[in-house]
Structure 1
Amino acid sequence: MAIGASIEGFNSVIRPVICIDATHLKARTRGVLLVAVCKDGNGMIYPLAFGFANSECTKSWTWFLKKLRKGIQNPDRVMLVSDRHNGIFNAMEAIFPDAAHGICVYHLAQNLKRFCKQRDD
């Protein structure tokens, strides 16, 4: 789901950097909430799109990113930032092959901490 005003704002005034991630839902239905957000001119979170899926996998991310790509005017001129989950990475490569891909600094730091801790053991 994407609110028309959010897509219109993104296409006209928002810097084309999209952060995508998922969070696991703990209610009876389970599943995951897939989200795409940006930052507006005031540095505030700008919701772009969200969707619900059974799991965070390549199939779910491919579906979500296909829908997101339809709403973006210049899909090859965006930068996608993520935690580089395998499902996200595979879907980004397939749906946004010419877009720039980046990794979230927080997730990079967490991965480095985990990797370095494992090497010390």
Structure 2
Amino acid sequence: MPSSVAVLKTSSVRVGGQVDEGSTYFHRLFWTFPPYIEVFRYCKPLVSVDGTQLYGKYGETLLVAIAYDGNSNIIPIAFALVEGENAELWSFFLSHLRQHATPQPGILVISDRHNGIKAALKAADAGWLSPTAYRAFCIRHVAANFALSFKGKDA
């Protein structure tokens, strides 16, 4: 699709300790589409982010950002295919999300309590600090963690 945003990161191939300048391999990818960027302007100013492990030959992780319109319909905003979940990978995703899809001030980011997300949102150069953005935790994740912590204990 014309005007789509795709940020591809590759790495050099090493053969016998030497870098093969003619070859690279896939490292990570961020992408979003113009209709997603456009529709976000009319959505509630909040974005939910989460990741899910993909099972298969390569075992990558899919990071996703979604928004909600006025009728609470779920609207996809952006995606990333990365090698796992840590602060560096969440920073890659969230910085490109901010740059390409959600530059508006005052956005609320909802997520689980993953340390990588927390670190990425706290980075001074990421654009996710208050007052340009705010952070909240997903209540479903909070309730699930609470239930696990106090399972079988009398209240």
TM-score where L is the length of structure 1:
0.91
Pair 1:69-2:98 in alignment: yes
1:101 is aligned to 135
Look at both structures and tell me which one has the larger radius of gyration over its CA atoms: 2
Gaps of 5+ in 1: none
Pair 1:87-2:116 in alignment: yes
Cα distance in 1 between the residues matched to 2:47 and 2:38 = 14
Which of the pair is proportionally richer in helix?
1
Which consecutive segments of 4 or more residues in structure 1 shift more than 2 A? 117-120
Which of the pair is proportionally richer in strand?
2
2:39 is aligned to 9
1:31 is aligned to 60
Cα distance in 2 between the residues matched to 1:85 and 1:68 = 18
1:70–1:118 distance in 2 versus 1, CA, 3 Å: farther
TM-score where L is the length of structure 2:
0.72
Cα distance in 2 between the residues matched to 1:118 and 1:80 = 33
Q: In the alignment, which of 72, 77, 102 is matched to residue 48 of structure 1?
A: 77
Higher relative contact order (CA 8 A, sep 6+): 1
Number of residue-to-residue matches in the alignment: 118
